[in-house]
Structure 1
C-alpha cells in the first residue's frame, strides 16, 4: 500500500455546536457570578456607609463632651448647619481651618476675601462649602460621586439629623418648628433630655440624594402640598410607583452645610424610602415632611443616641399616616414605632426592636 510521504493526521477543530455550548456555559457562569459580585460590592458599600454614619455620631458625642450639649441645627441668619459645628471632630482639619482663617484662600474665585468664620450657607463662592468629603456620602447612592463643583447641586450629603415627628415653617410665625427629636433650632440637648433613653432614640439617619432636575422621583424628590404621610403616598403615580404624579422639588441630600430642615434633617413620621413632601407652597421652608431613604435593599442606616448604628427596615410600623405633621406638639407619637424612636421625651417604651 502506497502512502503519502510525511502525511499528518487531520486536525479536528471545534464544531459550531461545541463552540455554542462553551459560550453558553461561560454565559451561565458569568450569570451566576455577577449577583455574587454585586452582593459583595453592596455589602462593602453598606459597611462604608455604616462607618460614615458612625463617624458623624461620634462627632456629635465628642461635640457634647466639649460643649456639654449636642449640636443644634444652628439656624441663624447665615443658616449654617449642624455638620459644620461638628467638623472639628471629624478629622476635616483643612476645611475647618479655612472656615476659621477666612481670607482669599476661602473663596472659590481666589480673590474675594472672607472674614474668619462661616459664610452664608448658600454662598457658592465660599470654598469650604464646595469641598468634597467622602464621609458625607453613602457609596451605594448613584449621586455619591457627583460632588466637587461650584453649583447648588454638588454639595451632596447622605446623612441628616433627627427632627422627631413634628414640622413647621421658618417663614410663618403661626407654624414655627417645634421639633421633638434629638436636634432643635433653639438649643442643643443634653443627655438628661433623652428621657426615653439614648439607645431607643434616633440621632442621625440616611437620606437618598436626588439627582439634579429629577423632580418626580418618588424616592428622592419632594411632592408639593401634602401635609400627611398618607398624602405623600397618594402623590405617587399608580401606574409607576417609582414616580410622582406631578413634579416636586429636587432638594433631598443637598447643601450639607445648610441648617434649614429640608437640607439638614429628617422626620420620624414615615418608614424609610417613602415619599417626602412640602406641606404647602414650593419654598424650602414650607413645613417639609422628610423621610429616611437609601439605595440599600430594604431600608436605611440610622445612628441612635448612644452612638450605635443600625439598619432600619422599610417594614417598620409607622402608625397613623392621616395626621398632619404639624398637629402634634406633645405626648406620644401617632406614627408608630418609628415615631416613638424619633421623639426624645415622648414617654414611649418602644425600643429599636419594636
Structure 2
C-alpha cells in the first residue's frame, strides 16, 4: 500500500515568495486607494464651495448686491497704504453669509457696531467653521494672532479683483474691481458685472498655514486672509509668483513662500489648492469649475474683473 505524506507548512522560500507578491500587490493598490480618497476629498471641497456660492446667491437676491469684502467702519477716508487700515475693518463677506448657511446663531454673537479686531468679537473670530474648510488640506490649528485678538483660518476666499487686494486705486478704478469691495459698505450689484456673471469669478480655494500664528493667509473674518486677487495678471491658480500679504511667512508648507515685504502696502494672495493640476472656483452665476494651473494669465485676469471690457473665454 502506497502512503502519501502530507505537507504541514510552507517552506521558507515559498513564504518569502508569497510575502513578496503581497508587497507588490499592496504597492500597486495603494496609489489607487490614495487617488480614490483624494478624489472623494476633492469632491467634498467642490461641494462646500458650491454650497457657499448658493448662500452667496441667496444673500445677493435679498440685498440686491454682493456683500462687501469687509465693511469700512471709519468716517475717515481709507488710507492709501495698508498701514492703519486694520483698526477700522468691520464684518467680512463670510460673516454676512452665515444666516444663509444655517449659522444664524454664530452671526448673532457678532457685534456689528464694533470693528472686527476688538476683543468683544474675538469669540466669533476664533470659531473654525467646517463649511469653509477643504478636507484635502490639513485643518489649521493655530489662529492668526499677530497684532490681533485671534482669527481662525479657512480655505475659501472672495475675489477682490485683478489688481492688488488692498490697493485703494484698484477700488476706485472700475476696471480693476472684483465683485467684492474692501473699501465700501457693499459689493457689486449684478448689473455692475458688465463682463457677465458666468464669466466672472466669485470665490476660490486658497491655502493656509496650519501651525503658524503669524501668517494671515486664510484668516477668518480678516480682510487679508479671506480674499485673493490677480496681482495684475501675475497670480494665476497655484502661481509660482510669491504671495505678498502683510504677516506672511516663508514656508514649504504653503508653496510658494511669501515675499519678505511685510509693509502692508498691498495684500497680494493668489488662488491656491493642494489638488493636482488646478483650483476650484465659483462664478457669479453660481457655477463651480476646476481651473487648470496652466490657464492663460490674460484669461484669468479677465475672469477676475467685473467691468474691464475683457470676456474670459476658454475657462
Q: How far did 1:118 drift?
A: 6.5
Runs of 5+ unmatched residues, structure 2: 73-87, 246-258
Q: Distance in 2 between matches of 1:46 and 1:267?
A: 23
Q: Give the aligned partner of residue 350 of structure 1.
A: 312
Q: 1:12 to 1:265 in 2, by over 3 A?
A: same
- Aligned: 1:159 with 2:163: no
Question: Quick one: which of 99, 102, 114 aligns to 1:88?
Answer: 99
Structure 1 runs, 4 residues or longer, greater than 6 Å off: none
The Cα offsets for residues 247-288 of structure 1, whole Å up to 9 and x where unpaired, read as: xx732212x112x2x2121113322112312588414x3212
Aligned partners of 1:166 and 1:267 also within 8 Å: yes
- Provide the residue aligned with 1:309 in structure 2: 288
Residues 208 and 199 of structure 1, relative CA distance in 2, 3 Å threshold: same
Q: Paired residue for 1:79?
A: 90
**Deviation for aligned residue 1:346:** 0.9
Contact (CA 8 Å) 2:198, 2:283: kept in 1 or not? yes
- Taking structure 2 as the reference length, what is the TM-score of the superposition? 0.77
- Residue 116 of structure 2 aligns with which residue? 121
RMSD of the TM alignment (CA)? 2.8
CA contact (8 A) 2:193 2:307 kept: yes
1:86–1:11 CA distance, 2 compared to 1 (3 A): same
In structure 2, do the counterparts of structure 1 residues 169 and 196 end up closer, same or farther at CA, with 3 Å as the change threshold?
closer
Offset of residue 94 of structure 1: 2.6
State the secondary structure of the residue aligned to 2:91: coil
The answer on whether the counterparts of 1:206 and 1:293 sit within 8 Å (CA) in structure 2 is yes
SS of alignment partner, residue 244 of structure 2: strand
Query: 1:300 and 2:305 equivalent?
Result: no
Q: For the residues of structure 1 that align with 2:151 and 2:188, how far apart are their CA atoms?
A: 31
Match status 1:69 vs 2:36: no
Residues 273 and 291, structure 1, Cα contact 8 Å, conserved in 2: yes
Q: How many angstroms apart in 1 are the aligned matches of 2:293 and 2:18?
A: 43
1:337 to 2:299 alignment: yes
Mapped partners of 1:163, 1:213: distance in 2: 25
Q: CA deviation at 1:33?
A: 1.4
Q: What residue in structure 2 maps to residue 209 of structure 1?
A: 208
**Are residue 38 (structure 1) and residue 71 (structure 2) matched?**
no
Asked if the contact 1:198/1:305 (under 8 Å) is kept, the reply is: yes
- TM-score of the two chains, using structure 1 as the length reference: 0.69
2:237 to 253, 272, 277: 272
Q: Is the 8 A contact 1:124 1:151 kept in 2?
A: no
How many correspondences in the alignment? 272
Over residues 272-307 of structure 1, what are the superposed CA-to-partner deviations in whole Å (9 max), with x where a residue is unaligned? Answer: 112312588414x32122111011111111000101
Alignment CA distance shift 1:168-1:130 (3 Å): closer
Residue matched to 1:282: 262
Change (3 A) 1:168 1:19: closer
Aligned counterparts of 2:170 and 2:71: Cα–Cα separation in 1? 12
Structure 2 residue matching 1:79: 3-state secondary structure: strand
Question: Which residue of the partner structure matches residue 227 of structure 1?
Answer: none
The 5 A counterparts of 1:97-176 are 97-99=108-110, 116-117=111-112, 119-123=114-118, 126-142=122-138, 144=139, 146=141, 155-167=152-164, 169=166
The equivalent residue for 1:263 is 225
Distance apart, 1:43 and its partner CA: 1.1
Query: Counterpart of 1:196 in 2: which secondary structure?
Result: coil
Structure 2 Cα separation of the partners of residues 48 and 118 of structure 1: 35
What is the aligned partner in structure 1 of residue 216 from structure 2?
251
How far apart are the structure 1 equivalents of 2:41 and 2:166? 35
